[in-house]
């Protein structure tokens, strides 16, 4: 029977349900869902598959251990007791790259990092019968989270954050991350056979992520991961198998109506280039257009968007008019649904409509709301119509 590991996947607070569904769809067993993270069990193949397929997590951590620590002595001894030799080879480069602590007696990140590194060295000295390590091999960064004195120690299998798909070289002033954009789309009922418009598309992240979802293009197909060289944990075969699976699942014959508008011509150019780099330019039409010019002849479309929040004072003064124009344009779209994420507290007031649903999501440290304004569902096609 294959060895099972526990994994922890962080996500934006408020998007846990989407990440949980993604993991279940890959066939793995969920062990816990908490604020901003989902844990699950998986084999060695899960290291490759989750890094390549998951759209809404920032990284995939292999859990080395969990324990309670209320003193630095506790932290040292319990870190030393973990089976580090199972994960870190004799020449591996290892360090605690990040430590965070909330409501715990141990709260100094630098002290936590220093003491845990020392404990790891002591354990590996005993295991490898060595007094000194060259650390000139593969990298094994450790991430530590302490919540109410409960310590979770994870090995970062991803390396660079998973929101960096590789296609977005040109960005807007306040871009939304690829992982959050994907989560927002997956929180809506949008499917690839429905019209999708983003009237504040910026560098094109929401339309591009939608096109990748619609064509079933795995987000990690065209990038590298730190754990690809960890033969003792994730042999080359699991990576080949995962990439072959991803390639087999791409829908090459799909047709989509996705549009992205922005008032700034340089953003439209950037969005087109990003879509080209993502391999989805054929599915998206980008156009320079102000939000007040938003219109469409067809019914039952979707708007999914990240309008300006007005972080600067001069921008904030322009928001009432902007959201009013947006609301007026949306009112002219027959039976459409609109989903927008914003931190602007008066968004509904100036949009001119109260949201049917309102989900709180943290975009980094910023509290935002994902408003859902639901339109009518399209009539079901008759069987003979769908076959013709």
Q: CA nearest 50: which of 225, 236, 250?
A: 225
In the block, tokens 């590298």 appear at 224
Average pLDDT estimate for 61-73: 98
Q: CA nearest 151: which of 41, 60, 36, 65?
A: 65
Q: Phi, psi at residue 177, to the nearest 5°?
A: -70, 155
pLDDT of residue 171: 72
Average pLDDT estimate for 229-233: 97
Dump pLDDT digits (tens) for 138-186. 999 999 999 999 999 999 999 999 999 999 877 766 679 999 999 999 9
Q: Phi, psi at residue 172, to the nearest 5°?
A: -80, 175
Output the average pLDDT for the chain.
95
Q: CA nearest 225: which of 25, 61, 1, 22?
A: 61
Contacts of 347 (CB under 8 A, 6+ apart): 307, 323, 340, 369, 371
Strand partners, 153: 65, 144
Alpha carbon distance 316, 312 (integer Å)? 6
Please say if the pLDDT value at position 196 is more than 90: yes
Q: CA nearest 84: which of 29, 128, 35?
A: 128
**95 close to 141: Cβ distance less than 8 angstroms:** yes
Helix ranges restricted to H, the chain: 16-25, 44-53, 72-80, 84-87, 109-128, 178-186, 205-214, 236-249, 265-278, 313-316, 319-331, 347-351, 383-387
pLDDT of residue 304: 98
Contacts 24+ apart (CB under 8 A), 252-256: 252/215, 254/192, 254/214, 254/215, 254/216, 254/283, 255/283, 256/192, 256/193, 256/196, 256/210, 256/211, 256/214, 256/215, 256/283, 256/284
What DSSP designation does 153 have?
E
Q: CA nearest 124: which of 64, 61, 34?
A: 64
Alpha carbon distance 236, 44 (integer Å)? 11
pLDDT of residue 46: 98
pLDDT of residue 140: 98
Q: What pTM was estimated for this model as a whole?
A: 0.95
Q: CA nearest 164: which of 203, 243, 222, 251?
A: 222
Alpha carbon distance 36, 10 (integer Å)? 6
Average pLDDT estimate for 256-260: 98
pLDDT of residue 364: 84
**145 close to 59: Cβ distance less than 8 angstroms:** no
Please say if the pLDDT value at position 384 is more than 80: no
Is 386 or 25 the better-scoring residue by pLDDT? 25
Q: Domains in the chain and their CATH numbers?
A: 5-156 (3.30.2130.30), 178-217+233-381 (3.40.50.150)
Contacts of 219 (CB under 8 A, 6+ apart): 52, 53, 54, 55, 162, 165, 178, 182, 212
Dump pLDDT digits (tens) for 104-119. 999 999 999 999 999 9
């Amino acid at each position: 029977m294959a060895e099972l590991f526990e994994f922890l996947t962080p996500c934006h607070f408020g998007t846990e349900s989407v990440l949980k569904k993604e993991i279940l769809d890959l066939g793995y067993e969920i062990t816990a869902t908490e604020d901003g993270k989902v844990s699950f069990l998986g084999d060695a193949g899960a290291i490759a598959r989750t890094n390549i397929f998951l759209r809404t997590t920032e990284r995939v951590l292999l859990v080395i251990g969990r324990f309670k620590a209320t003193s630095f002595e506790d932290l040292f001894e319990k870190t030393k007791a973990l089976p580090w030799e199972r994960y870190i080879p004799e020449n591996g480069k290892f360090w605690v790259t990040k430590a965070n602590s909330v409501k715990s007696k141990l709260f100094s990140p630098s002290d936590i990092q220093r003491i845990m590194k020392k404990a790891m060295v002591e354990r590996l000295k005993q295991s490898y019968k060595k007094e000194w390590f060259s650390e000139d091999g593969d990298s094994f960064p450790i991430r530590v989270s302490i919540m109410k004195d409960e310590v979770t120690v994870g090995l970062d299998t991803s390396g660079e954050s998973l929101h960096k798909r590789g296609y977005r070289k040109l960005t807007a002033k306040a871009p939304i991350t690829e992982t959050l954009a994907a989560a927002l789309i997956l929180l809506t009922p949008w499917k690839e056979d429905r019209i999708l418009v983003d009237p504040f598309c910026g560098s094109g992240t929401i339309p591009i992520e939608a096109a990748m979802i619609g064509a079933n293009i795995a987000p990690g197909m065209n990038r590298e991961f730190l754990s690809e060289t960890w033969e003792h944990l994730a042999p080359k075969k699991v990576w080949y198998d995962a990439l072959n699976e991803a390639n087999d699942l791409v829908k090459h014959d799909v047709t989509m109506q996705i549009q992205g508008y922005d008032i700034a011509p340089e953003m439209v150019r950037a969005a087109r280039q990003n879509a080209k780099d993502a391999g989805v330019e054929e599915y998206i039409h980008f156009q320079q257009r102000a939000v007040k010019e938003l219109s469409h002849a067809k019914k039952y479309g979707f708007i999914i968007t990240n309008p300006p929040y007005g972080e600067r004072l001069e921008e904030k003064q322009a928001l009432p008019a902007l959201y009013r124009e947006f609301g007026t344009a949306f009112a002219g779209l027959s039976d459409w649904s609109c989903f927008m994420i914003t931190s602007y507290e008066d968004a509904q007031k100036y949009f001119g409509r109260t949201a049917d649903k309102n989900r709180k999501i943290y975009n980094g440290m910023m509290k935002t709301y994902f408003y859902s304004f639901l339109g009518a569902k399209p009539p079901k096609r008759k069987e003979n119509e769908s076959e013709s």
